[in-house]
Chain A
Amino acid sequence: MATAQVRAEAPGSGLNDDIGEAKRLAMYRSQLRIREAEQRAYDLFLQNLVKGTSHLSLGQEAVASGFAEAMQKGDLSFCTYRGHAHTLARGVSVEKVLGELMQRDNGLMRGKGGSMHLTSEEHGVMGSYAIIGAHLPIACGAAWRAQYKGDKDVSVCFFGDGTTNIGAFHEALNFAAIWKLPVVFVCENNLYMEYTPIGDVTAVPHPAADRAASYGLERIIIDGNDADAVYRAAQKAFAKARAGEGPSLIEALTYRHSGHSRADPAKYRPEGELEKWKERDPIKIYRERLQQFGISDKVIAEIDASVRKEVDDATETCKAAPMPPADILTTDVYADGGWAWRN
């Protein structure tokens, strides 16, 4: 639907442009890593080795990779329950992520958080939030800290199109705007609020961008399947935030190749829609771009192989990993490490 509109955001002209070869190879690797890890998570779910629920970002990799590559150390990511991609994109190992999905002791939070709450503060991943909209105000608070301390860190908050209809979205946008906070709100518009087309439940065609004016912000819509477009939009928003000029709201148009969660076969989609979007698969687009810019098939194949090896190795490590031990059940409720609520 909106793809024609966003193609105006032209890709760069070559490897010596503002993005350059090293970044492009990193973004290709990053997207592929997410694709392979998410696909593996799905396969492991079918084998009953991934437990609970999981929300995959298959098809949405370019948003995570484009933003992560534009981020600096110290910049903070706030993710949703569909947060595996953003966690991986900040450099967390596939093993830690799959381990958590498989609820093993080697998982990122040793099985205490699960798929929807991936957190790795050492990588700047300040949590994945499973209550829609909750993390937008939280990202504002982290941005407030940076502003108060005079640091140049930016808080980046990722969420889906469905989030634009909850109160916390609007509270956070207004709050960030009036305090001029260094926070970037990124709406991944994948066209569906869980099972329902976002257009069926939203008063405006662009659920995020069409609300920007309410908060004095620029209307920004980008091609969320083109990592270069994402990277450039991120750079621009980060520069604005670091200059003390306040927040940005970016709507990235993309598409979820799988259902909402593992329980959803996504039968509500019109026939042919998925196929049409697969023609604009972010990884396909990016591989072609690398080839167009003269990156050899050999270099691409090496990246492909090393990513697959990381995912395969991680899978085997996780399968062999023990379950979490009983002694962590009651740890870390309070800052003293324990759970005592009485003497």
Chain B
Amino acid sequence: MAEITYRDAVIRGIAQEMKRDNDVVFLGEDVAKAGGVFKATVGLYEQFGPLRVRDTPISEQAILGAAMGAAMTGLKPIAEIMFSDFFAVCFDYIANEFPKSRYMSNGQTKCPLVVRTGNGAGSRFGAQHSQSVENWCMMIPGLKVVAPSSPVDVIGLLAAAVRDPDPVIFLEHKSLYPTKGEVPDGEIVDKLGTAKVVRPGRDATILALALMVPRAVEAADRLKAEHGIDCEVIDVRSLVPLDTQTILGSVARTHRLFTVEENPRLCGWGAEIVSIVADEAFYDLDGPPVRITTPHIPLPAADVLEDMMLPTVERIVDTVRRSLQG
């Protein structure tokens, strides 16, 4: 057991899979010799060499297209798109190519690849380098989408993503890179499509993803200490496949549902989950499901404004308390 950062967990996760399988190759901008702009790939070039860890030009279409061609023909590429906002310049691969080739070819074409990307706000980078784009990906049939919140989940879910035969979008939260967590020694392999109850509770279910998970946990601790409200916090982790059973099971026990989302409000992942719960667990609910989200606006750069925009511990505490206690 060791305490490591989320950033170092990315390095360890990639290294674990590259050591295991020579067909795992890695490409992206500044990822090799420079070790990544977030320093989340430091040492991989030295460890695995220039044939397996490759710097690319600033050509996001070439990066994702090349990853797909390599995946179709037998390699297991990990491609890095530096900021998830840049998905917009290579969205053809994410929306049209990776997820549809198997279906269109009637099962002939495979696409086992992972796209890692820096997602989310908190770095004061403004509207084009801070977005949470998980809902851009979640809406596309044929993709899998995961977003870990802790170092141990980074390693385990990255391993699961690399070993998965389908294209997986792996969203690393930029503001979590310096955060630390306990990680067991040895190989770690998790399972896609599994949510995790990170804090059990009886009175309400709070669903969160990535950076919103530690905030939801802190809010739950305060709700218990200050208001006697015992919340269950679930880290959704995997948007596709979605672990609805864990969510529905929790709602059946707590009878209340809150989502804490960083993605834009319209068509956010919480909206889909709320609709599933409304469909399938309506009579388990003692009150309306509540989505705690950003306002539906572009992200501002200034720290005071960005902080106002994201769901905070205070907002989560206030929203849950008012909903449950009036």
Contacts and interface: CB of A to CB of B under 8 A. Distances in A.
Interface string B276-305: 100000000000000000000000000000
A332 B106 contact: yes
Q: Which of A76, A133, A175 lies at the interface centre, i.e. has the most chain B CB atoms within 10 A of its CB?
A: A175
Contact of A175 (B56, B144, B166): B56
B316 interface: no
A336 B193 CA distance: 14
A323 interface: no
Nearest to B51: A148
A137 B61 contact: yes
A332 B111 CA distance: 12
Given A168-B65, A334-B102, A138 B97 contact: yes
Count class of interface residues, chain B = 35 or more
Given A134-B96, A143-B69, A332-B107, A174 B25 contact: no
Contact of B103 (A134, A137, A149, A332): A332
Interface residues of A, number: 53
Interface string A176-210: 00110000000000000000000000000000000
A172 interface: yes
B165 interface: yes
Contact of A339 (B69, B141, B164, B245): B141
Interface stretch (A53-61, A118-126, A291-299): A118-126
Interface string B68-80: 1111111101000
B72, B73, B166, B242 pick with most chain A CB within 10 angstroms = B73
B141 A127 contact: no
Contact of A137 (B69, B142, B164): B69
Contacts of B103: 112, 332-333
A231 interface: no
Given A171-B61, A171-B65, A343-B241, 10 more contacts: A109-B105, A113-B105, A119-B108, A121-B105, A126-B73, A127-B109, A134-B96, A137-B93, A141-B66, A144-B66
Interface in B240-293: 240-245, 276
B66 to A, nearest CB: 4
Contacts of A141: 65-73, 77
A3 interface: no
B24 to A, nearest CB: 11
B108 A121 contact: yes
Contacts of B276: 342
B62 A171 contact: yes
* Among all A-B residue pairs, the 8 with the closest Cβ atoms: A137-B65, A141-B69, A335-B165, A141-B66, A332-B107, A171-B59, A113-B104, A109-B106
A114 B100 CA distance: 13
Nearest to A112: B106
